[in-house]
Structure formats: structure tokens, C-alpha cells
Amino acid sequence: MDKKIKKILIKTKRQVFSEISGNNPSIFKGEGFNFIELREYLPGDDVKKIDWLISAKLQKPYVKVYQEERELNIIVAFMLNGSMYFGSVEFKHIIAAAAGAIIGFSAIKNQDSFSYYIFADKLYKSIKSTKNINAIQEMIENIANFNPLGKSDNFKDLTKRLFKIKRKSLIFIISDFLEDFDFKLLSKKHEVIAIIIRDRLEEEPKEFGFVNLIDPQSGDSAVLDMDSYTKNEYKKEIKRKDHFMYEHFKKNRIRFTKIYTDEEPFIKLLKLFGRR
């Protein structure tokens, strides 16, 4: 086994099985999916559970009450296009593998069903739902050995495939989200959580002067003067893309976290799910 793969496997497994304690053995809790009743809205209730049609008729806010399912269906979908093969500290796709492993081990520990999809311009690998812990090692190996260079993203096909999953699921989509995407319909059927993987150099580039840049998706190259003007224009474009991303997540009630290549995925995921 490759040393990098072994390190991810040992570290993430130890974190999940040794460092997560308490009554809830998982770092996440999905929404309850079995509807029981309607009741009046109380301060602190999740507004996502408000039944707007009933509320409008009764002139009071009412929420749907659910009974949490004993078993969750956890899906981790990786978008490994060319830009994921980058990192000033660690490659983004390796950080993605670690984040996916933490989610996978947590699902297995909690006796939830787990499956994963490796996507770029098309589907490269997927497995059916399983509770077999060996699936986590297989996933890490597939991602670590995957070459994103020269591959474009295809969020449209990914979301179509995920939407077809019949059972309502807790879906983690892991990507750098530097390209356009639309999770509006997907988030209506499933609970979607976005894990953003970035390198700080992508958001705060340095003034390198003349550099030869290569597009990791198309392979095209160009000489560019990375002076203060170019740097500022680049940052404006990144902020524009991120503004769309955050607004899209907010509008569609998609939880998210951003993990940089110099950060610990385990800590960021714990914070995302409200565990300290």
C-alpha cells in the first residue's frame, strides 16, 4: 500500500473511532424522513421544516415533525476535475480523500449505509451502498491514484445521477466548486452538504511576475504577467464565483464548509456538524 494512502487510512480511522465519543457515534445526523404530524412553529425550529401551504391557510407558521430513521443512507460524491490536482501544501484531491474517509468511517461506525461516486467529465467509479469498512480503503486508493489532469467537470450529469437515487439520502459533494453548478432540484429531494476544497494560493495569489500557466482541464498554456493589476482582477473573479456559490447554498439550504490544503479536515467537519 502506498505510504500516503496508508497515512490517510490510519489517521482518519483513528480520528473517527477514537476521538469521537458520546452517545452519538457519528459526526453527523441526518434529517428525519418519516412524517408524523404538524405542530405550531416554536423559536429555534428549523425553518426548512415549515409547511408554507398549511401555514398560509391557518395564518400561523406550522412545521412538519418527523421521526428520525434508524439508518441513514450516506453518499459521498467527488468532483475530481483538473483543478483538483493542485496544492501548495497538499494536493486538493488528497484532502478530498481524507474528508471522504472521515465521512465514510463515521457512517460505518454508526451502522449507516455508505456509497461513493468519483466523477469528473463522466462517472469513473461508484459502489452500491455498503456497511463494509473495506470500502473506505478502496475509495481512498481510487482517489489517490486518480489523475484529474485533463479532465473537465460535469456537474450536470453528476446531479442527474444523484437525483435518480430513490431513497432520500444525505449527500456530501466534495469539490473546489470553481465551475458552475446547480443543486436546486437535487436539494429538494435529498439533503445536500457541500465540502469545498481550496488552496489559499488560489484565493490570494502572489505577484510572481511573468509565469507560464497551464489550464489543468484543457492543457492549454499561456505566459502571463502576474502583476498587481492581474492579481486583483483574478481575485475579483474568484470573489464573483464564490458569491454565486454561497448565495446558491443559502437559497437552497445547503450546509457547507471550506477546507484549505493546510487545514485538518476532521476539525472542519466536526465544526460543520456542531460538535466541539
Tell me: do 53 and 136 sit in the same domain.
no
Tell me: do 166 and 238 sit in the same domain.
yes
20-36 confidence digits (pLDDT tens): 655 444 555 555 455 55
What separation in angstroms does the CA of 192 have from each of 13, 79, 187, 203, 264?
Answer: 24, 14, 6, 25, 22
Stretch 106-128: mean pLDDT: 94
Tell me: do 91 and 129 sit in the same domain.
yes
**Is 90 within a domain?**
yes
Residue ending a domain, among 67, 88, 122, is 67
Tell me: do 43 and 75 sit in the same domain.
no
Which residues are registered as beta bridge partners of 231? none
Q: Predicted confidence band at 38 (pLDDT cuts at 50, 70, 90)?
A: confident
pLDDT over threshold 80, residue 111: yes
128: domain CATH number is 3.40.50.410
Domain range enclosing 188: 3-24+70-201+230-272
Tell me: do 247 and 155 sit in the same domain.
yes
Angle, CA of 211, 214 and 220, to the nearest 5°: 125
**Is 220 within a domain?**
no
**Is 77 within a domain?**
yes
What separation in angstroms does the CA of 224 have from each of 129, 207, 209?
Answer: 46, 11, 8
Tell me: do 49 and 16 sit in the same domain.
no
Residue ending a domain, among 16, 51, 67, is 67
185-233 confidence digits (pLDDT tens): 999 999 999 999 999 999 998 888 888 878 888 878 888 888 999 889 9
Which segment of 54-58, 129-133, 231-235, 249-253 scores lowest on mean pLDDT? 54-58
Tell me: do 108 and 59 sit in the same domain.
no
Q: Any idea what DSSP says for residue 130?
A: B
Q: Predicted confidence band at 70 (pLDDT cuts at 50, 70, 90)?
A: low
Tell me: do 76 and 140 sit in the same domain.
yes
**Is 208 within a domain?**
no
Tell me: do 7 and 41 sit in the same domain.
no
User: Number of structural domains, the chain?
Assistant: 2
**Is 211 within a domain?**
no
Tell me: do 88 and 146 sit in the same domain.
yes
**Residue 12, φ and ψ in degrees, nearest 5:** -70, -35
The overall pTM is greater than 0.85: no
**Is 183 within a domain?**
yes
Tell me: do 241 and 255 sit in the same domain.
yes
Tell me: do 41 and 88 sit in the same domain.
no
E-strand ranges in the chain read 34-40, 62-67, 73-79, 113-119, 123-126, 170-175, 191-198, 209-214, 221-226, 255-260
**Is 215 within a domain?**
no
**Is 250 within a domain?**
yes
Helix-helix angle 3-19:134-144, to 10 degrees:
140
Any residues with CB less than 8 A from the CB of 77 and at least 6 apart, and which?
116, 117, 119, 158, 162, 171, 172, 173, 174
